[in-house]
Amino acid sequence: MEVSRLFEHHDITIYAKLDLLQLAGSTKERTANGLIEELLGSGQLHAGGMIIESTSGNLGIALARQCVVRGIKFIAVVDENANPLALELMKAYGATVDRVVTPAAGNKLAARRQRVQELLAKHAGAVTTNQYGSLANPRAHFSTTMPEIVAGSGGNLDYLFVATSTTGTLLGCQQYIRAQGLDTKVVAVDAIGSVLFGGESGIRRLPGLGAGILPELASAAEPDMVFQIPEIEMVRGCRLLARREGILAGASTGAIVAAMGQLVPTLDAGARIAFVVHDTGVPYLQTVYNDEWVRSTLNEEPELERNTEPSDRSEK
């Protein structure tokens, strides 16, 4: 979908890839499908089997949904950061939710991964999809996400913006761009407090993007540009997208909007951009879109007023 109201630069074309319309509500629908098909195809998993996976939300929802239609049991290992609504969704699909309590000085991702190993030892024949290291993760985006973006936009894109967590989406898109010899620069959008592209691990309250320890896949990620975005800018980016384009997205997409807001003013006329709307904003209504939460948790003003009116809408 072309978006034209987000920024004031009318001579730049911007396309939004609406992965919030995936059945599970996020890009992870593609990842989950790729990971499960790989396990079924290699004979490691069969109908009636069990999947155990560490997930901060969206992969869990997508796996839970896809396990239903394949007759597979699913245990989601989550941490305190997990969105309560995401957990309700997983349970609604019949998944078991196993919540890890992270030790005070501990790393949440590491604690979840250790718990996955414990559960695998307990359930004979169970498998993990390993979204952090499986090449089926980027392959899903190589074979669907990027080809769809190219087809939907007409191609010829100067920049592609993706948010990063396992880096699977970025890697798959990057591999497709290289394989096709496209001239599209890949922009990685990460959270401050994530270690994916250097920097110290820090407090991150909003799920969806960033990592506290490096996933195996990340070593192959070679973005042309990296933006590390503070959480308040994710909030403002989400609200801008909702108020100007009528797209209610989650925090990682808000981060992308913030990053685009920095790059767009520097681009030449005629530039063509695409970005991924990674998930629906509905599970973020009590956080990103809640003024009280923003004030009490991020100690910042959401600045809604500034975001409601593009300054020169009348010129369009």
Ligand X SMILES: Cc1ncc(COP(=O)(O)O)c(C=O)c1O
Which H or E element spans position 107? Answer: none
Q: Where are the alpha helices (DSSP H) in 84-200?
A: 84-92, 108-122, 136-140, 146-153, 168-179
Among 139, 278, 281, 288, binds ligand X (CB under 6 A): 278
Q: Please tell me whether residue 56 binds ligand X under the rule CB under 6 A.
A: no
Question: How many residues bind ligand X, per CB under 6 A?
Answer: 19
Give me the least distance between CB of 224 and ligand X, in Å please: 16
Do residues 61 and 96 make contact, with C-beta atoms less than 8 angstroms apart? no
Which is closer to ligand X, CB of 133 or CB of 310?
A: 133
Residues 74-133 that bind ligand X (CB under 6 A): none
Minimal distance in Å, beta carbon 47 to ligand X?
25
Per CB under 6 A, the list member of 50, 163, 258, 288 interacting with ligand X is: 163
What region does 164 belong to: left with phi over 0, alpha with psi -120 to 50, or beta? beta
- 20, 279, 280, 283: residue in contact with ligand X (rule CB under 6 A): 279
Sheet of 185-191: strands edge to edge?
Answer: 2-3, 13-18, 272-277, 159-163, 185-191, 225-229
Beta strands in 222-312 (DSSP E): 225-229, 272-277
Q: Residue 58, interface with ligand X (CB under 6 A)?
A: yes
166 is a contact residue toward ligand X (CB under 6 A): yes
**Among residues 55, 66, 165, 174, which is the contact residue for ligand X, using CB under 6 A?**
165
Does residue 3 contact residue 14 with C-beta atoms inside 8 Å?
Answer: yes
164 near ligand X (CB under 6 A): yes
Which of 12/196 has CB closer to ligand X?
196
Written as one letter, the residue type at 109 is L
Q: Which CB atom, from 12 or from 67, has the smaller least distance to ligand X?
A: 67
Site mask, ligand X, residues 201-230, x = CB under 6 A? -------xx---------------------
- Least separation, in Å, of the C-beta of 173 and ligand X? 9
Residues, the chain, total?
316
Binding-site member from 212, 237, 250, 281 for ligand X (CB under 6 A): 250
Per CB under 6 A, does 26 bind ligand X? yes
How far lies 198's CA from each of 13, 98, 202, in Å? 31, 31, 12
254 binds ligand X (CB under 6 A): no
Q: Does 65 participate in binding ligand X (rule CB under 6 A)? A: no
- Going by C-alpha positions, the residue among 133, 107, 101, 303 that lies closest to residue 218 is 133
In the 8-state DSSP scheme, what is residue 280?
A: B
Q: Which is nearer to ligand X, 153 or 164 (CB)?
A: 164
Report the residue from 54, 194, 252, 287 that binds ligand X according to the rule CB under 6 A. 252
Q: Which positions ≥6 away from 149 have C-beta within 8 Å?
A: 15, 17, 157, 160, 173, 274, 276
Q: Please tell me the distance from the alpha carbon of residue 155 to that of residue 146, in angstroms, as a whole number.
A: 10
Residue numbers of the site for ligand X (CB under 6 A)? 26-28, 31, 58, 163-170, 208-209, 250, 252, 278-279
